[in-house]
Chain A
Amino acid sequence: MSLATLGLLARWAHLGLSVAVLGSAAALLAAGRSTRPTALAWQARVLALARGLAILALVTGALSVAYQAANLTGRPGAALDARTLGQVLLDTQAGHVWLLRTALLVLLLGFLAFRADTRERADWLAARGQALGLAAAALALLTAGGHAAAVKPGSLVAMTIDAAHLVATGLWIGALLPLALLLRAASRPEGADARPQAVLAVRRFSRLALVAVLVLAATGVGNAVIQVGSVAGLVGTTYGQLLLAKLILLIPLLLLAAVNRRRLLPQLPGDAVTVGRPAMQRLAAFMAGEAALAVLVIGLAAALALTPPARHLQPTWPFAFRLDPAVLDTAPYLRLQALLGAQIAVLGGVALLVALVTRAHRLTALAGGALLGALGLALLGSALAVDAYPTTYRRPDVPYQAASIEQGARIYDQHCAVCHGITGTGDGPDGRGLPRRPANLRAAHVGAHTAGDLYWWITHGIPAGGMPGFGERLSEEERWGLVNFVRALGAVDQARKLGPTVEPQRRRLVAPDFTFAVGPMPAQALRDYRGRRIVLLVLYTLPGSHARLAQLARGYQLLSMLGVEVIAVPRDAAPNAIRRLGAETPIIFPVVTDGARDIVAAYSLFGDAPHAEFLVDRQGYLRSRWAEAGDPRRSVNLLLAEIQQLNEEPQAAPADEHVH
């Protein structure tokens, strides 16, 4: 058995035992105080069970931490090495959490072993409440050493959600087995004295479990949003698939619980011999069945805890299609079908609702509703479906950066321009003989494809259209460079429509990121200004731009005060750019001496005049463009008006480096 399997088993057992300890305490509290012999015998049994569970929880907890040590250091031997274990316990957060939880479990165990006088109500409540509190704290603290603690920012929210999820699990799942024992004891002829208590206990538990299930659903959704975050992450990563398996296992568990609640619970107080006792026996068996299913669910939860969260993984999309509402923008003829499908589906939903409330024709309404719903969803789905590939939702390995765009542009000229055309409009000389006209990469639809789609086509080609794959000729980095270049190309027409004034309603274009250095200063990135300053990017050519740069230099103090950084980029990428600006007007804003070539290559796509200025807002979007050959007539005051406009704007969502 491999180390990872052992670690998973230890984690599984520990999680299950911690849940069971809390549930035992909850069951004892739900059953209430009693002096009847059967109830007392059951209490003693559950207490003994809880002690045993707590001891096993301590043992499996120790195994779990030993596995963690082995996993962290990468040596199986570390699991038994006292020094390494000491380091893990004292120097890591998971170690601190483990120490605290172990202390709580030991305290709980001492408490359970302590045979106290609980005849008084206050004493009884104190004893049971204390056990519940300690067990709940020990279980809830598990989250502080798990994925939730690593969420940034907002780890406190994530941990609270996860802790509530754990405690709700304990109260529901953990109490099933002890209560099944009580029901079994009460269903025997000699256990008649415990029957009223058993019925009361199960009723209380049923209400508690309903609340717990609602809490579990809400916190489960919260956890999924935090750790998975997307449909692609759910179906395309190990973490997401484990979560789906957990959800599927939950369906029979919840069905069983619903049957217990609706069918068996009302029968319990019925005539003892004919209704009550058989119902109790069946309920006990069903609850034991629920518990058995829950053990599997907890196993999946343990596996999830040991799997990297989906948010940090690259999803592999498993289907050949995806649903994209944006299709309707580019293909209006599908709108009618989508509308029809949606309306039929709504009709089906209404029929299903009717089936829920009426008794007459219930079956007809149910079947009709299901049929209409399926038909409507199929119509809607087929209207919105677009082709998808395993890499569709892959996040680019190389961000949307000037250097990558420049690299992509060079590769494009070499490999792609023959068919797609030098300017990307799909009119290259070799494209004419192909089965399908090469795509016009300047068209708006390019933006509707994900970066992963483009990556797939570049890698594997489009056989039906005659496009070859470049997976073997180009490295991954080069292919991502092409993706970034095509993305920039798709933005060209939009960018060239940008005028010198900021238009709030215009679609936002992401400004490609870039790195630059001024003299010996360490390299900076455009991204560093996100959320802090507006950037006026100036691509200049001497001597035409001289007057304008001097004008900006004179206004620099005011611009700085209004939150603007000016970054001047020489079009010729001269390393001695600062000297060439001369000493006449002191220019102290950054003048790029390193990295200019990539910036010029990328931003020339958006404006290739000798002198071009781009205003990038605090969220990283390109907002205005002023490209006229060395025209100094535009005064700084006009620029100030645009900046004022940006400063007054409400904060928009920050730009994403990745496509979509």
Chain B
Amino acid sequence: MRLWKVVVLVDLAVLIGLGGGYLWWGRQAARLERELAQAQTAQVSVEREWTVRGVVRAVLRESNLIVLSHEEMAGYMPAMTMGFRVAAPQIYDGVQVGDAVRFTVRGVPPNVVLTGLERAPAGGGNR
């Protein structure tokens, strides 16, 4: 075989090898990402419960909401200020704006309700 043909074939082989390797690696990465995403959605598609610390920002009985600035809810949402629907009217008892609380949220995201709320021990929770 003529040398230039050998060179062309070798270069083609190298290019196909590199390109194939790159594609394989890319698909591997995409597959891993997909699996990760699946694992995460699998986590949130069943009923779960989070108990985190927060501070009461507003009590809106007429809309059945308590607005809380809260910590991260692992696997669901980062720390933020947002309103939660309240599961039972007695939860409102004694709740005041500015209270440092521990509260429990339960449900299948995004349908979650606030099922429990207690004042955090004095001194703690505000740091």
Contact = CB atoms under 8 A, between A and B. Distances in A.
A656 interface: no
Secondary structure at the A interface, as helix, strand, loop or mixed, is loop
Nearest to A575: B126
A521 B70 contact: yes
B14 interface: yes
A116 B3 contact: yes
Secondary structure at the B interface, as helix, strand, loop or mixed, is mixed
How big is the A interface, by class? 35 or more
Most chain B beta-carbon neighbours within 10 Å: one of A126, A521, A593, A594? A521
Interface stretch (A274-282, A453-461, A580-588): A580-588
Contacts of B80: 521
A518 B126 CA distance: 8
Interface stretch (B36-44, B56-64, B84-92, B109-117): B56-64
Contacts of A649: none
Nearest to B102: A520
Nearest to B21: A100
Most chain A beta-carbon neighbours within 10 Å: one of B8, B69, B99? B69
A594 B126 contact: yes
Interface in A542-589: 575-583, 586-589
A522 B79 contact: yes
B3 A123 contact: yes
Contact of B126 (A107, A520, A589): A520
A520 B67 contact: no
A587 B58 contact: yes
Given A519-B125, A575-B126, A127 B97 contact: no
B3 A521 contact: no
Interface string B22-57: 000000000000000000000000000000111111
Interface of B: 2-4, 6-8, 10-11, 14, 52-60, 67, 69-72, 79-81, 96-100, 125-127
Given A123-B3, A130-B10, 17 more contacts: A117-B3, A120-B3, A123-B4, A126-B4, A126-B6, A130-B7, A130-B11, A519-B55, A519-B126, A520-B52, A520-B53, A520-B125, A521-B69, A521-B79, A522-B71, A586-B57, A590-B81
25 contacts: A120-B2, A122-B4, A123-B3, A130-B7, A519-B69, A519-B70, A519-B100, A519-B125, A520-B53, A520-B71, A521-B71, A521-B81, A578-B98, A579-B96, A581-B97, A582-B97, A583-B97, A586-B57, A586-B58, A586-B97, A587-B58, A588-B57, A588-B81, A593-B55, A594-B127
